[in-house]
Amino acid sequence: MNHVIDLEYLAQQNSLDIAIAEYSRLYKTSPPTHIYQALGKAFWQQGNIEQATNSYYQALAIDSNLYEVYIDLAYLLATNNNLKKAAEVYLQAILLNPERHEAHSKIKRHNWSKTEEDILIDGLKSVITTQPKSKLPYMTLSFLLASQQNLDLANSYLQIASNNKALALNKKYNLTDSLIIKQRIPNFLIIGSGKCGTTSLYEYISKHPRVLPAIIKEIGYFDTNRRYRYGLEWYLSHFPQMMEHDSFLTGEATPSYLYRYQVAERLYQVFPQIKLIVILRNPIDRAISAYHHAVKDQGELRCLENAIDEEIKILKDFENPLEIMATKYKFVQHLEPRYVVWGLYYYFLKNWLEFFPKNQLLILHSDDLFKNPELTTNQVFEFLGLPSYSLKQYSKYTAGNYQKIDPQLHQKLSNCFREPNEKLESYLNIKFNWN
């Protein structure tokens, strides 16, 4: 196995011809499935799609339980316009493990024709027949039906997934058809900010015995026009149904809500009494974390210094960062300006407080959450009207470690954030001491 890893390193170094020759030479001394999988990746990098496909199929002929190989093969087929076959292979992966997320997340990335969507829909219906208490197959099925504008059916499958999750998480959750079910209205939203600890905070809140979380943390309904057009019932289907006498609370966390100029008004129109939670981090630290996240997951190719310089340059063309978000400004790589811009909290919070009163908004400092998660989480519980509750463990979610940035770049960011930070402290009457 070690030499397979070494060979993959050769492939990563663009020594593909050498790597492929070595894979073939070691055929008799390595597990064949690993060899074929590694060959598939190497041929794919080389652009030899036919050979790559054949290698993956050879691996599956030896062992049909290789989930990762199904995923690689399906993605290879889909990105090379063999979408019908890709759909079939994704379904094979889901049959193997219905609750592994990779197949479900990749299905949502491709542009399927209706014929291919129907193949996936029929396959997923078969899966949930044998796995009625699953969650991800229902969600993917709902996604595909919504894309076909079959919203009533999409919502019904999504609701089943939400209820299944609640049943799995909380033994006290129970639905009795003979009782009146009250509306699924979210009691709270974490609206920001990204890379400030929202995932950890939402996980901590969700573990309270009187909280039932949404089917997913980030629904992204109010800030995405395509999802917003699905209608409010689609959004509410992400929350578990409850009985009239239930005292459970529910909510979601979409950190980008803070920055979308239209979200506050949209939300106020339907849930004017909802409680809002914002967690803020030193904007310099947040910018660095957001950059590294974009490099890892969003195709950011610029160096940190260039990315920051470009955003600062953009800011000079706008009086208010809200205008940047309203224009849907994009860089060449289709990335939004969110490293510096999203740290200018004053302008975005001011927009939200034009719709919601301050007593419906809880503002937290990320340092407090990181240093004393129990105290900070109980502060949230008090805000939500819940009794205090302590978790056995406060794990950190999606945390990253990065090298210190160049002092000159740090100073440049400090200069950029100084005035907005002062405005924020004055407006909220809260001291953050970031300057």
For the stretch 174-197, pLDDT in tens is 776 555 566 679 999 999 999 999
CA count, 13 A, side-chain hemisphere, 316:
6
> Is CATH 3.30.70.980 the right assignment for the domain spanning 2-122?
no
Mean pLDDT of 379-398: 94
For residue 27, the model assigns a pLDDT of 61
Spatial distance between the Cα atoms of 43 and 52, rounded to a whole number of angstroms: 5
For the stretch 122-171, pLDDT in tens is 999 999 999 999 999 999 999 999 999 999 999 999 999 999 999 888 87
What percentage of the chain carries pLDDT values higher than 90? Answer: 71
Q: Which residues, at least 6 apart from 21, have a Cβ–Cβ distance to it below 8 Å?
A: none
If you average pLDDT over each of 19-33, 255-269, 400-414, which comes out highest?
255-269
* Coil vs helix vs strand at 52: helix
What are the distances in angstroms from CA 210 to CA 142, 258, 284, 387?
Answer: 27, 26, 36, 9
- Which sequence spans correspond to the domains of the chain? 2-122, 182-428
Q: Which residues, at least 6 apart from 351, have a Cβ–Cβ distance to it below 8 Å?
A: 261, 264, 322
For the stretch 22-33, pLDDT in tens is 666 666 555 578
pTM of the model: 0.86
For residue 5, the model assigns a pLDDT of 45
For the stretch 322-345, pLDDT in tens is 887 777 555 444 557 789 999 999
Whether the predicted pLDDT of 407 surpasses 90: yes
Matching residue, tokens 């790559």: 52
Spatial distance between the Cα atoms of 96 and 66, rounded to a whole number of angstroms: 9
Mean pLDDT of 197-226: 95
Instruction: Assign domain 182-428 to its CATH superfamily.
Output: P-loop containing nucleotide triphosphate hydrolases (3.40.50.300)
Spatial distance between the Cα atoms of 154 and 150, rounded to a whole number of angstroms: 6
The pLDDT confidence band at residue 1, using thresholds 50, 70 and 90, is very low
